[in-house]
Amino acid sequence: MKLVTAFSALFSATGVVATITTSGYNQIKLYPRCGQENVNPDAQLSITFPSPPAIGPNGTIRVYDAADKKLIDTLNLSIPFSPSPSGNGSTKANYSDTTTYQTNIIGGMDFYFYPIIVRENTATIYLHNNQLTYGRTYYVEVDPEVLQLADGTFGGFTSSNPWTFTTKSHGPSADATRVVVAADGSADFNTIQGAIDWAPAQTPKRITIFIKNGNYEELVYFQYKSNLVLRGQNRSRTIVGYPNNSAFNPPNRQGPSRRPAFSFHGVSDVQLSDFTISNYYKGQAEALLIEGVRVVIDHMTLNGSGDALTTYGSIFITDSELTGDVDTVLGYGSAYWLRSKIVSLGVLSWTRTVQGIHGNVFVDCTLISTEGNATFARLPDNSGGVMPNWPYTEVVLINAKTDGISPVGWGPVQGAPFDTSHLHLWEYNTMDLNGHLVDMSQRLNVSRQLSLPKDAAILRKYQTPSYVLGGWTPVVIS
Ligand SMILES: *[C@@H]1O[C@H](CO)[C@@H](O)[C@H](O)[C@H]1NC(C)=O
Ligand SMILES: *[C@@H]1O[C@H](CO)[C@@H](O)[C@H](O)[C@H]1NC(C)=O
Ligand SMILES: *[C@@H]1O[C@H](CO)[C@@H](O)[C@H](O)[C@H]1NC(C)=O
Ligand SMILES: *[C@@H]1O[C@H](CO)[C@@H](O)[C@H](O)[C@H]1NC(C)=O
Ligand SMILES: *[C@@H]1O[C@H](CO)[C@@H](O)[C@H](O)[C@H]1NC(C)=O
Ligand SMILES: *[C@@H]1O[C@H](CO)[C@@H](O)[C@H](O)[C@H]1NC(C)=O
Ligand SMILES: *[C@@H]1O[C@H](CO)[C@@H](O)[C@H](O)[C@H]1NC(C)=O
Ligand SMILES: *[C@@H]1O[C@H](CO)[C@@H](O)[C@H](O)[C@H]1NC(C)=O
Ligand SMILES: CC(=O)N[C@H]1CO[C@H](CO)[C@@H](O)[C@@H]1O
């Protein structure tokens, strides 16, 4: 009996198929199951093998509409994933590079992406976003070269034994105000991006996207949306992440930075609550990049590398925790931080406040450097003094608990000499983790220690979110 014949004959309703390998029969498990109905069109496909598969180097995955045999999507493994497929190459733009890389349009922007990610024994296949629709039956063909097993042969899925499934007849109703995402396919969407893409751009009604516990390995991006709440079921068990950085997605294309795991641009009134976002790569690798007005980050866990959180706009961050390596907050925006914790290997922030707005204000927060000698914020020489520094930088700490901070507290402030009189590197009542005041005697000369009663008016203002956030009084939606 030919291998492929045996293969197709062994499909079962449970989705477990047996495949013949050189070492005998092995079980593989498919999602969606072969013949499964009511599949969400945003589903990622997956194949679980008895042992970890290797990807490529070539072959294609093809998805056809069963009704008219039209080719709907192709993933071609011969196309390189990125100029730096492991995220360890150059982080600079290379405008002369005209190579075609694996590209997915996510939330309207072109990202390099992994068409397949293998975690343990499971290969997850990321079709190009928004190619499948409701109410269709699809069949998937997978060339045998696409996934290779150490201990045998994967026959693939061919036209004579395709992998088929049928999508739901329709999505959530257009006037729904709450939709649910579940990684296991049991709710309205399988992916966070699928739910966000569904949400109308400018909606007068608030839309809540509820994310059930699960692991969501996807690159999330959206722009020009408003009135959106993304809420996880349980902060530590709803995990969204992706391996991405400025080498994997370098700045060689127009438009915003593509290196974060999760980012949004031009948004308003967006709230993220109760989930974890991780960037699994080192380097310049944000967990989250925020560019928007009236953005609330509430009970979130953010875990990135360099520039783990980049901000633009007006942001209220409460009861959250951010972990990163260096310049953990790259802060262009006005951010009011309440009862939050930053754990950073090196310097906690590179704050780049422009004239006329406020910067990073931390009230009742905990700021830790694990290297043991970092500063709260630095303004290093950016490009040999050629680029202007950030003379209006504002970082204000009120009642901060700290650990691992160098006695100088701030800096270095470098670059071409500039007027430092507008810098607000201010702190009041900075303590160690036990609540004892820290020694301020060696603080950087351009920083300032606030004290009472002299600075009572300043302290009052900086404890008022609307003062820091351009008149916006943030409300956390529960
Ligand atoms: C696929 O890659 C293998 C291993 O490099 C090679 O032997 C084979 O010729 C390639 N096939 C095609 C169609 O490029
Ligand atoms: C896959 O990509 C390679 C490299 O760009 C190209 O030579 C080949 O024709 C493509 N295959 C298909 C089926 O599109
Ligand atoms: C990046 O990692 C890959 C795979 O480990 C390796 O082959 C390559 O040489 C590395 N590149 C750089 C620039 O370190
Ligand atoms: C830029 O890309 C071109 C074309 O792929 C390549 O030949 C060149 O080495 C790259 N330059 C750098 C600095 O990486
Ligand atoms: C969230 O999950 C953790 C880990 O399983 C558990 O300890 C915690 O009680 C859960 N929190 C809530 C609010 O259910
Ligand atoms: C952050 O991610 C790194 C690497 O993925 C991991 O080792 C670390 O435990 C994570 N930290 C937190 C606080 O989640
Ligand atoms: C901070 O500590 C690290 C690790 O011990 C060390 O490499 C670095 O030179 C120190 N930096 C300063 C400014 O002392
Ligand atoms: C701070 O100290 C540096 C030298 O350490 C000096 O160049 C600078 O003028 C001082 N700035 C102020 C505002 O005193
Ligand atoms: C720049 C950098 O740190 N790249 C790392 C990205 O992640 C891969 C896989 O984890 C590492 O191999 C790279 O060194």
Provide the pLDDT for residue 6. Answer: 31
Average pLDDT in the 199-212 region?
Answer: 94
Buried b (16+ CB within 10 A) or exposed e, 282-312: ebbbbbbbbbbbbbbbbbbbbbbbbbbbbbb
Residue minimizing CA distance to atom 11 of ligand 2:
76
Lowest mean pLDDT among 72-81, 128-137, 240-249, 452-461: 240-249
Cα 203 to ligand 8 centroid, rounded to whole Å = 52
Kindly report the number of other CB atoms within 10 A of residue 197's CB atom.
Answer: 17
Q: How confident is the model at residue 132 (pLDDT cuts 50, 70, 90)?
A: very high
Find out whether the beta carbon of 344 lies less than 6 Å from any atom of ligand 6: no
For ligand 7, mutation pick of 326, 344, 370, 371 (most atoms within 8 Å of CB)? 371
Query: Is it the case that residue 386 has pLDDT exceeding 80?
Result: no
Which ligand minimizes its atom distance to the CA of 80? 2
Provide the pLDDT for residue 250. Answer: 84
Average pLDDT over the chain, rounded to whole? 92
Percent of the chain surpassing pLDDT 70: 94
Query: Is it the case that residue 188 has pLDDT exceeding 90?
Result: yes
CB 259 within 8 A of CB 238: no
Provide the pLDDT for residue 208. Answer: 98
Residue minimizing CA distance to atom 4 of ligand 3:
86
Average pLDDT in the 250-262 region?
Answer: 89
Query: Is it the case that residue 45 has pLDDT exceeding 60?
Result: yes
CB 409 within 8 A of CB 374: no
Task: Determine the 3-state secondary structure of 380 from DSSP.
Answer: coil
Of the two residues 155 and 336, the one the predictor is more confident about is: 336
Which ligand minimizes its atom distance to the CA of 236? 5
Query: Is it the case that residue 244 has pLDDT exceeding 90?
Result: no
Query: Is it the case that residue 154 has pLDDT exceeding 90?
Result: no
Cα 60 to ligand 1 centroid, rounded to whole Å = 12
Cα 404 to ligand 8 centroid, rounded to whole Å = 24
Average pLDDT in the 65-92 region?
Answer: 94
Average pLDDT in the 191-219 region?
Answer: 96
Cα 234 to ligand 5 centroid, rounded to whole Å = 6
Query: Is it the case that residue 66 has pLDDT exceeding 90?
Result: yes
Provide the pLDDT for residue 432. Answer: 98
C-alpha 442: how far from its chain's center? 38
Query: Is it the case that residue 1 has pLDDT exceeding 90?
Result: no
Cα 237 to ligand 5 centroid, rounded to whole Å = 8
Average pLDDT in the 151-163 region?
Answer: 84
Find out whether the beta carbon of 29 lies less than 6 Å from any atom of ligand 9: no
Which ligand minimizes its atom distance to the CA of 414? 8
User: Which atom of ligand 5 has the smallest separation from the CA of 235?
Assistant: 1
Provide the pLDDT for residue 11. Answer: 38
Cα 353 to ligand 3 centroid, rounded to whole Å = 36
Cα 160 to ligand 3 centroid, rounded to whole Å = 39
CB 107 within 8 A of CB 197: yes
Find out whether the beta carbon of 88 lies less than 6 Å from any atom of ligand 3: yes
Q: How confident is the model at residue 277 (pLDDT cuts 50, 70, 90)?
A: very high
Of the two residues 155 and 134, the one the predictor is more confident about is: 134
Query: Is it the case that residue 416 has pLDDT exceeding 90?
Result: no
Q: How confident is the model at residue 16 (pLDDT cuts 50, 70, 90)?
A: very low
**C-alpha span between 92 and 301 (Å, rounded):** 29
CA angle 222, 167, 188 (to 5 degrees): 50
Q: How confident is the model at residue 249 (pLDDT cuts 50, 70, 90)?
A: confident
Provide the pLDDT for residue 247. Answer: 79
Q: How many helices (H) and strands (E) does the chain have?
A: 4, 37
Find out whether the beta carbon of 153 lies less than 6 Å from any atom of ligand 8: no
Residue minimizing CA distance to atom 10 of ligand 2:
76
The segment with the largest mean pLDDT, out of 7-21, 124-138, 279-293, is 124-138
Find out whether the beta carbon of 21 lies less than 6 Å from any atom of ligand 6: no
Provide the pLDDT for residue 287. Answer: 96
Cα 376 to ligand 6 centroid, rounded to whole Å = 21
For ligand 4, mutation pick of 84, 95, 97 (most atoms within 8 Å of CB)? 97
Query: Is it the case that residue 85 has pLDDT exceeding 50?
Result: yes
Task: Determine the 3-state secondary structure of 395 from DSSP.
Answer: strand
Provide the pLDDT for residue 9. Answer: 31
Cα 247 to ligand 9 centroid, rounded to whole Å = 9
Provide the pLDDT for residue 408. Answer: 98
Residue minimizing CA distance to atom 2 of ligand 2:
78
Find out whether the beta carbon of 234 lies less than 6 Å from any atom of ligand 5: yes
Which of 393, 400, 464 has the alpha carbon at shortest distance from 427? 400
Average pLDDT in the 104-122 region?
Answer: 96
CB 142 within 8 A of CB 55: no
Provide the pLDDT for residue 131. Answer: 98
Cα 94 to ligand 4 centroid, rounded to whole Å = 6
Query: Is it the case that residue 112 has pLDDT exceeding 80?
Result: yes
pTM: 0.92
Lowest mean pLDDT among 23-37, 191-205, 239-253, 313-327: 23-37
User: Which tokens is 291 given?
Assistant: 């560019």
Provide the pLDDT for residue 23. Answer: 35
Residue minimizing CA distance to atom 10 of ligand 7:
373
Provide the pLDDT for residue 415. Answer: 87
Provide the pLDDT for residue 417. Answer: 86
Find out whether the beta carbon of 328 lies less than 6 Å from any atom of ligand 6: no
User: Which tokens is 125 given?
Assistant: 């296949």
User: Which atom of ligand 6 has the smallest separation from the CA of 343?
Assistant: 13
Cα 325 to ligand 4 centroid, rounded to whole Å = 29
Cα 148 to ligand 1 centroid, rounded to whole Å = 12
Q: How confident is the model at residue 337 (pLDDT cuts 50, 70, 90)?
A: very high
